[in-house]
Amino acid sequence: METVPHLVGQLVRERILNKIGFVDAHTEGEPTRIIHDGGPELGNGPLPERVARFAKSADDFRQCVILEPRGWDAVVGALLCEPTDPTCAAGVIFFNNAGYLGMCGHGAVGVAVALHYLGKIDLGRHRLETPVGIIEIDLQTPNRASIENVPSYRLHRGVEVEVDGIGTVVGDVAWGGNWFFLIGESPAELILDNVDALTTAAGRIRNALHRNGITGTDGAEIDHIEFFGPPHAADADSRNFVYCPGGQYDRSPCGTGTSAKLACLAADGKLQPGQPWIQESIIGSRFTANYARIDEHNIVPTVMGHAFICSEGNLIRQPLDPFTSGIRC
């Protein structure tokens, strides 16, 4: 009876191969699903190369982790991997319901808290390698971390674009680890009741930027739209609404979006190096940020927020399940 142990072995292998170990955290309300086990084989080259391989050969893994029935549209995935730089505690590739992100500020805070929860790092300063550069995290408590982000800058100021159903919209183009179009005049009050209207407006603006060939550096797509308005809390500086590439809104104030905002404030001389900026999100959560100047155009933003572990476990992909790559709309 050779076949029984053989079948058992195969079943065990399948169970192991199809298990994805995760920890879910939220940072100021925005979810991150941190994958620490069972990720795709992407080699050990530079992280941008691994992202290209991920997108080409293992995109079903992204879809499995993020899309229903195992995930949901608002979650950002963070695949932990070996860094190429040995001074880094980990490498991390961020992804969402639409594709891959250069950096993710709320996600990096969530990763820091999750690495500590998993017993992989102590409190204190650590480096994390991302596809767009190395960032530093300072884990101050088990639930509070600041990130020193990649250099950020404003590319264009006061760009005008004609938007269907809205008219002329004016905004700045800035990089904070992702590309943003930042609009000072929100099309609707920044309250949760207006999420649908804000999402529709932001989607139209993004399409108009695309139609008009308005891009980031080297033709990079501007895939995040950010509206600003007055804060609700007396001690905050601003409130925002951030539209993400897959049509979801960021529940947090968006770490890369806050970095882009600091770059614009710095360029306008409206915020001095080291001066704190409290950015409130559409749900009322907040990041406290400041920056150091590198040169006339570039700054290094520091963004501090809180993250909490929500759950942990394994995603399972059974061989006969027709929806292991999620439900695609």
Q: In Å, how far are 127, 162, 190, 248, 320 from 199, measured between CA atoms?
A: 34, 17, 11, 8, 37
Total chain residues near ligand PYC (CB under 6 A): 13
Using the Cα atoms of residue 159, residue 162, residue 164 and residue 170 in order, give the sign of their dihedral.
positive
Whether residue 142 is preceded by a cis peptide bond, meaning omega within 30 degrees of 0, is no
Q: Least separation, in Å, of the C-beta of 80 and ligand PYC?
A: 17
Cα 210 versus chain centre, distance? 21
**Runs of H (alpha helix) within the chain:** 3-17, 47-57, 59-66, 105-117, 195-211, 255-267
Using the Cα atoms of residue 67, residue 70, residue 75 and residue 77 in order, give the sign of their dihedral.
negative
Q: Which is closer to ligand PYC, CB of 146 or CB of 252?
A: 252
Choice among 64, 81, 88, 104 that is catalytic: 104
Is 31 one of the binding residues for ligand PYC (CB under 6 A)? no
8 A C-beta contact, residue 288 and residue 281 = no
Q: Which is closer to ligand PYC, CB of 101 or CB of 139?
A: 101
Q: Least separation, in Å, of the C-beta of 130 and ligand PYC?
A: 11
Q: Which is closer to ligand PYC, CB of 30 or CB of 129?
A: 30
Rounded Cα gap, residues 274 and 301, in angstroms: 9
For the question of residue 104 being annotated catalytic, the response is yes
Is 302 one of the binding residues for ligand PYC (CB under 6 A)? no
Structure tokens at 197: 């209207």
Q: Which is closer to ligand PYC, CB of 38 or CB of 260?
A: 260
Is 76 one of the binding residues for ligand PYC (CB under 6 A)? yes
Rounded Cα gap, residues 227 and 197, in angstroms: 12
Q: Least separation, in Å, of the C-beta of 126 and ligand PYC?
A: 18
Q: Least separation, in Å, of the C-beta of 13 and ligand PYC?
A: 36
Q: Least separation, in Å, of the C-beta of 162 and ligand PYC?
A: 27
For the question of residue 81 being annotated catalytic, the response is no
Q: Which 222-261 positions form the footprint of ligand PYC (CB under 6 A)?
A: 244, 250, 252, 254-256
For ligand PYC, the binding residues (CB under 6 A) are 30, 76, 101, 104-106, 178, 244, 250, 252, 254-256
Q: Which residues are catalytic?
A: 104, 254
